[in-house]
Amino acid sequence: MTSLSESAASATQAGARALRVRQTLETRFTPVRLDIQDESSRHAHHVAMTRGPEAGATETHFRVYMVSEAFAGVNRVTRSRMVHDLLDSEFASGLHALALTLRTPEEEGRSA
């Protein structure tokens, strides 16, 4: 499992899809915290899915932990839909699954 924290060193090790996902989420949600882990290797036993131009893509499963004010007043299901809708083109080109933890800064403060 590869962790894609906000450090420059990790960013250079990240795959192309991971970097696109990070940039897309940062642009739309302006998160105060964004952690992305590539868990694709844990799902290597899955049959490769042929989808779009990235058939056989290796970056298929990610775990995302994001804290953003954009989630204020929005329920968990709607938050998830917001992220999935935003990443629709990634799903169309080989992204298979996202495990999402989406919180507001206030919620993050309570869980600390």
Say how far apart CA 101 and CA 22 lie, in whole Å: 15
In the chain, the percentage of residues whose pLDDT exceeds 90 is 54
Pick the residue with more confidence: 23 or 52?
Answer: 23
pLDDT in tens, 38-93: 888 664 544 554 444 445 556 888 999 999 999 999 999 999 999 999 999 998 88
Residue 16 is predicted with a pLDDT of 87
What value does the mean pLDDT of the chain take? 80
Count of C-beta atoms within a 10 Å radius of residue 108: 16
Say how far apart CA 64 and CA 21 lie, in whole Å: 10
Please give the model's pTM, rounded to 2 decimal places.
0.75
